[in-house]
Amino acid sequence: MLAKIILAFLFCIILLACYPMTINEGEVVILEKSGNFYRVLQNGTYLVSWLQTSERFVHWCYKGEHITECKFDSRIQINRESMLDPGPIKCTTLDDIVVFPNVVIFYEIIDPVMSVYKVDNLYEAIVDAVSSVIKDAVSAMKLDSYTEKAHMVAIIHEIHEITNKWGVSISRVEIQTLGIPKILSGHETEKQKHDQKNKEHAVLSQKIREALSQLHGELNS
């Protein structure tokens, strides 16, 4: 009888000192001990001691054009594509034209420990890194090149070099709109049409020259 009472008492102590935690697939929770990293809990159910360890909560925020997105949670999604929508980024072309490419960033957290301890605010850091790469790329282009090569502005491997040290993989950066001032858009369209006509005329002239050359050769023979 005494043994049962003792066992029941010990069981109650364990329940008071621990709490159950279930981690879903694709999520992790980081535990700390005395304020330092202790371990990562992945898919499964655990008894966690609140006396010895504590969950590490992240506070990640960024301000987009229309929304401010924040994450305050201890559960971190890994190996799953997520999206950030920072909105238009103010850039200046080589010929001093201000444009506002509107981008959407797709990323995955590969190493949750690095994403927590290597950077304070992951969301803000990703947006800043992508913005910096795009601004540098646009600043090396004239407006003509920007309108023709905008799909190449966000050079993914350059962004990877920055975000890899945070345990993050940028899967793609999509440019939704170019953000060219309206006063220039019509002019640019007309210029592109003019350039296209010049190309077509050049091709036609080349074909005519080739045909005449071939005809001249046939007549001489």
Domain check: are 82 and 125 in the same one? yes
Residues 45 and 131 in one domain: no
pLDDT of residue 35: 86
Residues 95 and 131 in one domain: yes
- Indicate the range of 160-164, 177-181, 189-193 predicted with least confidence: 189-193
Q: Looking at residue 27, what DSSP letter applies? A: E
Looking at the structure, tell me whether residues 32 and 134 fall in a common domain: no
The upper half-sphere exposure of residue 84, i.e. CA atoms within 13 Å in the direction of its Cβ, equals 29
For 34, half-sphere exposure in the C-beta direction (CA atoms, 13 angstrom radius) is 0
Amino acid symbol at 183? I
155 phi-psi bin (left φ>0, alpha ψ -120 to 50, beta other): beta
129 pLDDT band (50/70/90 cuts)? Answer: very high
Tens of pLDDT, residue by residue over 86-117, are 888 899 988 888 999 888 899 999 999 999 99
Helices (H), the chain: 2-17, 112-117, 122-139, 143-149, 156-163, 182-220
196 part of a folded domain: no
The tens digit of pLDDT for each residue in 11-51 reads 656 656 678 889 999 999 999 998 899 999 999 998 888 77
Name the one residue in this structure whose structure tokens are 């927590």. Answer: 116
164 in the same domain as 107: yes
Domain that holds residue 66: 57-180
Percentage above 90 pLDDT, the chain: 32
According to DSSP, the β-strands at 27-33 and 18-23 are unpaired
- Are 19 and 100 members of one domain? no
87: left (phi over 0), alpha (psi -120 to 50) or beta: left
> 112-148 as b/e, with b when 16 or more CB fall inside 10 Å?
bebbbeebebbbbbbbebbbebbeebbeebebeebbe
Q: Identify the helix (H) or strand (E) that includes residue 33.
A: strand 27-33
Model pLDDT for residues 63-84, shown as the tens digit of each residue: 776 667 788 899 999 999 999 9
Phi-psi region of 219 (alpha: psi -120 to 50; beta: other; left: phi over 0): alpha
In the chain, the number of structural domains is: 2
CA distances from residue 1 to 4, 9, 13 in whole angstroms, order as listed: 5, 12, 19
Name which residue leads in pLDDT, 162 or 198: 162
The chain-wide mean pLDDT, for the chain, equals 80
Strand-pairing partners, residue 163, are none
- Residue 75 inside a domain? The answer is yes
The CATH number for 68's domain is 3.30.479.30
Q: Which residues pair with 23 in a beta bridge?
A: 44
Residues 130 and 43 in one domain: no
Whether residue 88 is found in the same domain as residue 113: yes
Give CA–CA dist 32/86, Å, rounded: 32
Look at residue 115 in the predicted model and tell me its pLDDT.
96
Neighbour tally for 86: CB within 10 Å: 22
Residue 143 has pLDDT above 60, yes or no: yes
